[in-house]
Amino acid sequence: MLDISEWTPDPYIVVLTGMGFLIALVAWLPLALKRLPLSLPIVCIGIGMAIFSVPQVTDRPLPLAYPEITERFTEFVVIIALMGAGLKLDRVFSWRRWSVTWRLLAVTMPLSIGAITLVGGWWMGLPWIIALLLGAALAPTDPVLAADVQVGPPRSGEEDEVRFGLTSEAGFNDGLAFPFVNLAVALGLAASTGEPWALKWITHSVLWEIGAGVVGGWLIGRAFGWLTFHIPADTKLAKTGDGLIAIAATFVSYGLTEMIQCYGFLAVFVTALTLRRAQRDHDFHREMHDMTEQIERLAMMLLLVLFGGALVSGLLAPLTWADALAAVVILLVVRPVTGLIGLLGLKASWSEKLTLAFFGIRGVGSFYYLAYGLNHMEVEGGERLWAIVGLVVLMSVLLHGLTVTPIMRMLDRLQGRDPDADDATPPPGLQGPAA
């Protein structure tokens, strides 16, 4: 008979059991929360806070205690999410049809970096190089936590202008923010060594790493597209029915492009777009997307549980009132204002523009960029930077997570779609130019 007073379960068994419950929740909660103003990330953070508040749990998952693991784990989550985001997009690539994307990338993101840098340097009193790193980390939107405002699975037709714009923006800007992170790193090294930085930054960090990332991603996407859909019927990869091909394409694209020192994030998203284009209407895209989504959700779950643990372990302790107010300004002023500036002249309703500008979700990408920057330059006060970024991400998860369901349901109704209908395919006017 079990003696409760002497019962001390094996920690491994406890973790295994807990993971089983968490995975079951991740599979079930999206369905349960579909019509509620609550999101899966909020639940995961709450679970993490509860777990790491238990006195018997002594480990503290603070990012500065595990800098390399933090950088690599967030990197892994982002590249999986980028592949999934690229495979989702039904809209044929063109400069005109993707105009909302280019506006958000070419106008909104640089303005956001500049504005956050000013807030960090002028308001919070950070050194200007550190303020630039903060701006580069917080400017890109997140492909991981933005699932509720992204397009639906491949060929589902759920691709109105808002969902398409937010998905494509998150896919591209996680790579295009990298030059600004590298600029902060280059300026930091130049300040300590006195070496010139401008020419190397422009030629390598901007021209080479962006150009090679796009070309490399396209070439790898073409190769996987041919192997998957166009080689003789008996050996094409689509015949396997195994969505793990998308994970293979993700790792090959990221690995090969990083080996030649270009932006792997950008390459993975371009690979996904090119792979989708190889045979746009093939059913196998759904299998590949579903596999990436499952892995992404599991990794996101674990990361957010650890984030919740970091919150109750003192992650936000270094914050000042100025930092907290700055985080509010970044979320509620900087992104909406720069978003609306970027969308000036876009042929869309004001409800669509306001939604695009509001849902600048910050998340795992910001964690990665900050971890990368701190691991590649000498920075004093890293705890404060993590506290600021952690607060912005927490506020974004709460604010956007609680408002996404009612706002998107209202937008669907304004666009002539019944969000409660059994048939999820929106009317033709809401599907976007898929061909």
How does pLDDT run across 131-170, given as a tens digit for each residue?
999 999 999 888 777 666 777 778 766 678 888 889 899 8
pLDDT at residue 408, as a whole number: 83
Note the helical H segments in 233-334: 244-259, 264-278, 284-312, 321-329
The answer to whether the CB of 371 falls within 8 A of the CB of 185 is no
288 vs 424, higher pLDDT: 288
For the cut 70, the answer to whether the pLDDT of residue 357 exceeds it is yes
**In whole numbers, what is the pLDDT of the chain averaged over residues?**
85
The structural domains of the chain, with segments of one domain joined by +, span: 66-150+157-416
Instruction: Express the helix, strand and coil content of the chain in percent, nearest 5 each.
Output: 70, 0, 30
Model confidence at 330, pLDDT cuts 50, 70, 90, reads very high
CATH top-level class for 66-150+157-416?
mainly alpha
Q: Which residue has the tokens 């749990």?
A: 57
d(CA 158, CA 191): 49
pLDDT at residue 255, as a whole number: 96
For the cut 80, the answer to whether the pLDDT of residue 376 exceeds it is yes
Q: Comparing C-alpha atoms, which of 352, 343, 385 is closest to residue 130?
A: 385
Q: Comparing C-alpha atoms, which of 132, 419, 84 is closest to residue 285?
A: 84
Model confidence at 96, pLDDT cuts 50, 70, 90, reads confident
And the tokens for 248? 């293979």
d(CA 134, CA 112): 11
Tell me 158's DSSP state. Answer: -
For the cut 90, the answer to whether the pLDDT of residue 40 exceeds it is no
pLDDT in tens, 103-135: 999 999 999 999 999 999 999 999 999 999 999
d(CA 417, CA 430): 8
Model confidence at 4, pLDDT cuts 50, 70, 90, reads low
319 vs 22, higher pLDDT: 319
Chain centroid to Cα 184, Å, comes to 21
Q: What angle do CA 325, 312, 386 make, to 5 degrees?
A: 50
d(CA 407, CA 405): 6
Please compute the mean of the pLDDT values over residues 178-201 and round it to a whole number. Answer: 88
Instruction: Kindly report the length of the chain.
Output: 435
